[in-house]
């Protein structure tokens, strides 16, 4: 492709109908479409997904949309970082084809009145602390899947429960898309990358390391033969409580697909946690697979 | 195409994954897919849709599935007529390519737990008398759209409100499909064709003619210049009440898209009614478009 054309990438689209029309054209040419749904404020975690999409698909779409329906009143919708120009600049370096950045009004126009709800795995953990969150996620993700008609959508393992909820929605609604979960990308010191990390003060940033340390401890115990979830959770809690501003929302050991709590570890498990450091809520997890 | 192959049509598929796989193959060949969602018990109304699909698309799928989620407890789910062999025989005469007839368990397997809700137009009329009906319709229709990835789906005007609800869902969820509404097909004496007409006794069958007569009267009045909806509804009510076993659920004059009630007729209107004849509930409607 001419370097001129490359330089114009990614092409910014804000209108859902224009996005659909471009995709229609590309699908008629037999192109394989990869979608990376994001709320912008891109970091290396998102970029790793966009790179995977670029490697495996003919056309990559990164959506960049802070979705109001997945925030509850009082959450951080207003202060959530919006950095579209910087996002586009980052994506231009890896050859992303389209950035889809609609306005809230374009996604939820006057008279909009639809809801999508997936039960089961959405009710636990984040579903308890943020009861409307996954309905909002399912709604926007389904809309994005339909607008982009992607073959594959890439999600980060950081939002582990979200990925399971989306997979369940895809299964229950027969959505013709493949969901690809990619590993968590961490800072050098172990903190899982998140757009919300920038809310942390210097002191809180140091304290936030207890999340990953607790997960490392959990893996160490499981690999060492510990089977009692309560023993593992206690050890994690002790580590997290060394941070003076930390408040634990949950520590959970569950089945990797249903997330149903396991009192005794057997087979593969996922360990998930949500911890508030000061006023910033962080989540992290570790999948422990056994050969 | 060899006549041998024609004779094998329609091809019966019961497994959603097999249906999706066949469609994937056809889409890769650039085929245009037409879907006619039905609950089976096919009559000429359904066949007119299947013929339209055949004329306009490369591949026609007729789904034949009595969808449990759109029936409330106490409604006629159990006694709803199931005539798959006769349906297939009818469709073989018009060259339908696929009949998709999944079992309830294939559509709603163990652990299934998703709901789709569209507000607005779904709340009126049928939505009041059958509060869970349109959620069930939206759910199954969305699943069928996803399984068949159809370009166009054909619906009969007989279920006018259903078509508006499905259109609203398609709009709000950005489903990549075109919804095509086709005219009501009537018996010679004017009764709108319906799989439920077979519930009527001979006497009730005669009485059922009041529905279409009332709609004809409404059109006559509007074309004659009457603008007061209450006057039109009263005239319709008088006609319907000549049938001794008739109970009116509603007579409604509304906006053709939102169905919002219009006290005075202006521009295009739709007249909708639901009447029980004995224990059989019938619906009918007439779209009055003015040049």
Specify the DSSP class assigned to residue A185. P
Cβ neighbourhood burial of A1 (10 Å; 0-12, 13-18, 19+): exposed
Q: How far is A244 from chain B (nearest CA, A)?
A: 40
Q: How far is B175 from chain A (nearest CA, A)?
A: 5
For residues B139 and B115, is the Cβ–Cβ distance under 8 A? yes
Output the six-digit token pair for B219. 């059109």
Q: How far is A58 from chain B (nearest CA, A)?
A: 15
Convert the pLDDT of each residue in B50-104 to its tens digit: 999 999 999 999 999 999 999 999 999 999 999 999 999 999 999 999 999 999 9
* Interchain contact, A174 vs B118, CB within 8 Å: no
Strand ranges, E, within A174-223: 178-182
When pLDDT is averaged across residues B5-34 and rounded to a whole number, the result is: 91
Nearest CA to A131 out of A121, A143, A122 is that of: A122
Confidence of residue A2 (pLDDT cuts 50, 70, 90): very low
Q: What percent of chain B has pLDDT over 90?
A: 96
For residues A120 and A168, is the Cβ–Cβ distance under 8 A? yes
Distance CA A271, CA A99 (A): 33
* Beta carbons within 8 Å of B177's beta carbon, 6+ residues apart: B145, B150, B151, B152, B153, B170
Distance CA A129, CA A125 (A): 7
Among candidates A111, A113, A117 on the partner chain, residue whose Cβ is nearest the Cβ of B115 = A117
Q: What is the mean pLDDT of chain B?
A: 96
B106: contact with A, CB 8 A cutoff: no
User: Is the pLDDT confidence value at A6 over 70?
Assistant: no
Q: Which residue of A has its CA nearest to B177?
A: A146
Confidence of residue A228 (pLDDT cuts 50, 70, 90): very high
What pLDDT does residue A8 have?
Answer: 77
User: Is the pLDDT confidence value at B215 over 70?
Assistant: yes
B110: contact with A, CB 8 A cutoff: no
Convert the pLDDT of each residue in B188-210 to its tens digit: 999 999 999 999 999 999 999 99
Ordered structural domains, chain B, with CATH? 3-182 (3.40.50.620), 195-288 (3.30.1300.10)
User: Is the pLDDT confidence value at B6 over 60?
Assistant: no
A117: contact with B, CB 8 A cutoff: yes
Among candidates B117, B142, B149 on the partner chain, residue whose Cβ is nearest the Cβ of A173 = B142
What pLDDT does residue A1 have?
Answer: 43
pTM score: 0.96
Q: Return the residue matching tokens 């709009």.
A: B171
Write out residues 181-220 of B within 8 Å (CB-CB) of A.
none
What pLDDT does residue B2 have?
Answer: 44
* Interchain contact, A172 vs B20, CB within 8 Å: no
What pLDDT does residue B67 have?
Answer: 98
Residues of A in contact with B176 (CB under 8 A): 20, 24, 146-147, 149
Q: How far is A121 from chain B (nearest CA, A)?
A: 10
Convert the pLDDT of each residue in A103-144 to its tens digit: 999 999 999 999 999 999 999 999 999 999 999 999 999 999
* Interchain contact, B20 vs A142, CB within 8 Å: no
Among candidates A111, A149, A169 on the partner chain, residue whose Cβ is nearest the Cβ of B120 = A111
Positions of B marked active-site:
46
Q: What is the mean pLDDT of chain A?
A: 96
Residues of B in contact with A142 (CB under 8 A): 173
Confidence of residue A7 (pLDDT cuts 50, 70, 90): low
For residues A215 and A253, is the Cβ–Cβ distance under 8 A? no
Chain A with chain B: Cβ pairs closer than 8 A: 73
Q: What percent of chain A has pLDDT over 70?
A: 97
Residues of A in contact with B116 (CB under 8 A): 114-117, 173
| Cα dihedral B141, B147, B151, B155 sign | negative
Convert the pLDDT of each residue in B261-284 to its tens digit: 999 999 999 999 999 999 999 999
Q: What percent of chain B has pLDDT over 70?
A: 97
Q: What percent of chain A has pLDDT over 90?
A: 96
Among candidates A114, A117, A176 on the partner chain, residue whose Cβ is nearest the Cβ of B118 = A114
Helix axes B133-148, B160-172, angle to 10 degrees: 60
Q: Which helix (H) or strand (E) holds B183?
A: none
Q: How far is B117 from chain A (nearest CA, A)?
A: 5
Count Cβ atoms below 10 Å from residue B80 Cβ, excluding itself: 17
Among candidates B30, B173, B176 on the partner chain, residue whose Cβ is nearest the Cβ of A20 = B176
Write out residues 128-157 of A within 8 Å (CB-CB) of B.
142-143, 146-147, 149
What pLDDT does residue B7 have?
Answer: 54
* Interchain contact, A169 vs B114, CB within 8 Å: yes
Confidence of residue A75 (pLDDT cuts 50, 70, 90): very high
* Interchain contact, A146 vs B174, CB within 8 Å: yes
* Interchain contact, A120 vs B113, CB within 8 Å: yes
* Interchain contact, B174 vs A114, CB within 8 Å: no
Q: Which helix (H) or strand (E) holds A46?
A: helix A44-56
User: Is the pLDDT confidence value at B220 over 70?
Assistant: yes
Among candidates A16, A114, A172 on the partner chain, residue whose Cβ is nearest the Cβ of B114 = A172
Cβ neighbourhood burial of A260 (10 Å; 0-12, 13-18, 19+): exposed
Among candidates A16, A113, A175 on the partner chain, residue whose Cβ is nearest the Cβ of B119 = A113
Q: How far is A153 from chain B (nearest CA, A)?
A: 16
* Interchain contact, B176 vs A146, CB within 8 Å: yes
Question: Rounded to the nearest 5°, which phi and psi values hold at B63?
Answer: -90, 140
Convert the pLDDT of each residue in B138-161 to its tens digit: 999 999 999 999 999 999 999 999
What pLDDT does residue B153 have?
Answer: 98
Output the six-digit token pair for A14. 């804000």
Q: How far is A12 from chain B (nearest CA, A)?
A: 19
What pLDDT does residue B249 have?
Answer: 98
Specify the DSSP class assigned to residue B176. S
* Interchain contact, B143 vs A173, CB within 8 Å: yes
ipTM of the prediction: 0.95
What residues does A274 pair with on adjacent strands?
A250, A283
Helix axes B16-28, B133-148, angle to 10 degrees: 50
Distance CA B255, CA B268 (A): 7
* Interchain contact, B115 vs A120, CB within 8 Å: no
B105: contact with A, CB 8 A cutoff: no
End-to-end Cα separation, chain B, in angstroms: 44
What pLDDT does residue B290 have?
Answer: 83
* Beta carbons within 8 Å of A220's beta carbon, 6+ residues apart: none
Confidence of residue A290 (pLDDT cuts 50, 70, 90): confident
A15: contact with B, CB 8 A cutoff: no
**Does residue A280 sit in helix, strand or coil?**
strand
* Beta carbons within 8 Å of B33's beta carbon, 6+ residues apart: B23, B26, B27, B57, B58, B59, B61, B148, B149, B150, B151, B152
Distance CA A27, CA B30 (A): 9
When pLDDT is averaged across residues B22-36 and rounded to a whole number, the result is: 96
For residues A98 and A65, is the Cβ–Cβ distance under 8 A? no
């Amino acid at each position: 492709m001419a370097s001129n054309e490359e330089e114009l990438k990614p092409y910014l689209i804000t209108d859902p109908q224009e996005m659909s029309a471009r995709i229609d054209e590309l699908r008629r040419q037999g192109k394989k479409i990869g979608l990376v749904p994001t709320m912008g404020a891109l970091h290396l975690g998102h970029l790793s997904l966009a790179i995977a999409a670029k490697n495996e698909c003919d056309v990559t779409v990164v959506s960049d949309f802070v979705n109001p329906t997945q925030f509850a009143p009082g959450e951080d919708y207003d202060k959530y970082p919006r950095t579209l120009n910087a996002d586009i600049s980052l994506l231009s370096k890896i050859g992303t084809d389209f950035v889809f950045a609609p306005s809230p009004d374009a996604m939820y126009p006057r008279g909009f009145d639809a809801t999508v709800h997936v039960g089961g795995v959405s009710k636990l953990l984040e579903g308890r602390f943020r009861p409307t969150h996954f309905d909002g996620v399912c709604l926007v993700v389904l809309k994005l899947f339909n607008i982009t008609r992607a073959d594959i959508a890439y999600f980060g393992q950081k939002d582990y429960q979200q990925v399971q909820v989306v997979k369940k929605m895809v299964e229950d609604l027969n959505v013709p898309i493949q969901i690809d979960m990619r590993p968590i990308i961490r800072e050098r010191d172990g903190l899982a990358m998140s757009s919300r990390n920038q809310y942390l003060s210097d002191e809180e940033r140091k304290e936030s390391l207890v999340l990953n340390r607790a997960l490392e401890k959990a893996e160490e115990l499981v690999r060492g033969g510990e089977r009692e979830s309560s023993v593992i959770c206690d050890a994690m809690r002790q580590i997290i409580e060394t941070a003076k501003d930390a408040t634990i929302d949950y520590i959970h050991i569950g089945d990797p697909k249903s997330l149903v709590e396991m009192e005794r570890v057997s087979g593969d498990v996922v360990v998930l946690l949500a911890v508030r450091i000061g006023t910033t809520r962080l989540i992290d997890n570790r999948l422990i697979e056994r050969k």
